[in-house]
Amino acid sequence: MISHQLPQPGDGPAADRPRACPSHATPHTPLRPMWCCRACGQPWPCPQARLLLKAEYAANQIGLSLYLCGMLYEAARDLCRLNPDGGPAPAELFTRFVA
């Protein structure tokens, strides 16, 4: 029997990147569910997080794309729950996270 409802996908990857540098500094990781940067308060990924992620994944661009796609999924879920009627547009989130 085919169900008319698809199962809810599980959680995406943990938002633990980029790593803090130096290790005692506040990391440029997302503060959920608002998806702003813990360190600077800008929408995540902030410019500093982008640079750190690019350096951390320099040898693994596919891994970076997969990580950011997972973060896009998590952000869309969180931000739409916070504001179901006026949440961010999918194209805006794609540009913010992946493009």
pLDDT digits (tens, 9 = 90+) for 43-79: 999 999 999 999 999 999 999 999 999 999 999 999 9
Give the closest residue to 73 by CA, choosing from 27, 5, 30, 13: 13
pLDDT for the residue numbered 87:
80
Residue 36: its H or E element: strand 36-37
For residue 31, the cross-strand partners are 36
Give the closest residue to 37 by CA, choosing from 22, 61, 53, 23: 53
pLDDT digits (tens, 9 = 90+) for 18-46: 876 677 788 999 999 999 999 999 999 99
pTM: 0.77
